[in-house]
Amino acid sequence: MHSAAATPTYSQLRERFLATATKHNAQLRHYPHPLKGMQGEDLFTDVAVFAKPGVKKWLVSLSGTHGVEGYYGSMCQTQYMDYLAGKARDEDVGILVVHLINPWGVSWKRRVNEDNMDLNRNYLDFSQPLPENPLYESIHHLFTKECATPEGRKKSNEGWQKKIQEVGYAEVKNKLGAGQYKHQDGLQFGGFGPSWSNITLRSIMQEYLGDSTDAISFDLHTGAGPYGHPMLMAIAEHDYPGIADAQRIYGAWLYTILTGPEQVTDTGISAACTGYTSQAMVDMMQGKRFTQLVVECGTYDSETVGHVAMRDDHFQHLSGELHGKKFDQVKAAILEFFFPTDDDWRELVWVRTRQIFDKALADLSARG
């Protein structure tokens, strides 16, 4: 076990990020979040920009879509700013670093945001009918506030195991992962409308990339796939020209995943879902030469560790008990799942993420 003092906090990530960006003369913008964090701190999404005026080609990185996964994302974004400072860089390519787009989730060490939403299910057109999720409807009663007692948890766990025996874990995970748009108190809630983070990201993209011609963008995640394996993925509802660029740049490293209600994938992410950040970015960048990619770093086993940690966290917040020994244990477990303390894991995901960023920068640089 690591000591509580070693547990990173949102404020530490932010201080390191801002200090590093400032040291290397980034332009900074701060987007204040309406709520306070776990330690009563103010919350922001921060943006660091390295670009001369009028730059048209951009490397973009985005961290913390799934709050607690931002400990990895922030680490790589901050280290990459340091790394770039020691290298000759093509001034015709701008660097846009969007730090912790779901700062509330980072601070509270949750995958969800302040509305219990999975942000990666929230980028939908809410004027259209929202997707149905019959599998989730059949198990929602296992995840309500009534189940947040020891006795309730026992029943909830039994019901969960029963469903897995009926249809298999992969099916439950894929269908559950598709998101649901009915129960704000449930799992994998996609929202009733656009979240603060959704609106903020759109505004950042418009402001900095509105008149760009070319961009390659990365959404940084952890928690799916085998331990210590950073996967590079193109995730979209339909093929689009940016995927061919990614295939050319990354070759066999790239997993291409087209999503849809009946889609499955063995990468550990859900292919059945809609409302991915990735698709929203592609839509926002229509008419430009744009590639949106996801880096997804595998950690522990999903069924026996990850989903247990996420359900514990879900019930802890439903119970309203937001401090104390049990709360601290739940937070330590979910953080460990999404950001292992293992130095070898951290080094490996950093090296791979740096390589991925470098390839994108080189390709942007080579374009006329």
Q: Which residues sit at the interface with Zn ion, rule CB under 5 A?
A: 66, 69, 221
Instruction: Report, in Å, the least distance between residue 108 CB and Zn ion.
Output: 16
Q: Which is nearer to Zn ion, 15 or 301 (CB)?
A: 301
In the chain, the N- to C-terminal Cα span, in Å, equals: 52
Instruction: Report, in Å, the least distance between residue 27 CB and Zn ion.
Output: 28
Nearest residue to 93 via CA among 209, 202, 206, 201: 209
Q: Which is nearer to Zn ion, 46 or 69 (CB)?
A: 69
Please name the helix (run of DSSP H) or strand (run of DSSP E) that holds residue 180, with its range, or none. none
Instruction: Report, in Å, the least distance between residue 326 CB and Zn ion.
Output: 25
Here the tokens at position 153 are 């948890």
Q: Are 197 and 113 in contact (CB under 8 A)?
A: yes
Instruction: Report, in Å, the least distance between residue 118 CB and Zn ion.
Output: 9
Q: Which is nearer to Zn ion, 66 or 175 (CB)?
A: 66
DSSP string, 291-310: EEEEEEE--S-IIIIIHHHH
- Calculate helix-pair angle for 196-209, 277-284, nearest 10 degrees: 30
Nearest residue to 306 via CA among 332, 337, 346: 337
Nearest residue to 221 via CA among 209, 235, 211, 210: 235
Instruction: Report, in Å, the least distance between residue 69 CB and Zn ion.
Output: 5
Q: Which is nearer to Zn ion, 120 or 156 (CB)?
A: 120
Q: Which is nearer to Zn ion, 195 or 212 (CB)?
A: 195
Instruction: Report, in Å, the least distance between residue 173 CB and Zn ion.
Output: 14
Query: For tokens 């903020």, what's the residue?
Result: 200
- At residue 73, what are phi and psi to the nearest 5 degrees? -60, -45
Q: Which is nearer to Zn ion, 156 or 180 (CB)?
A: 180
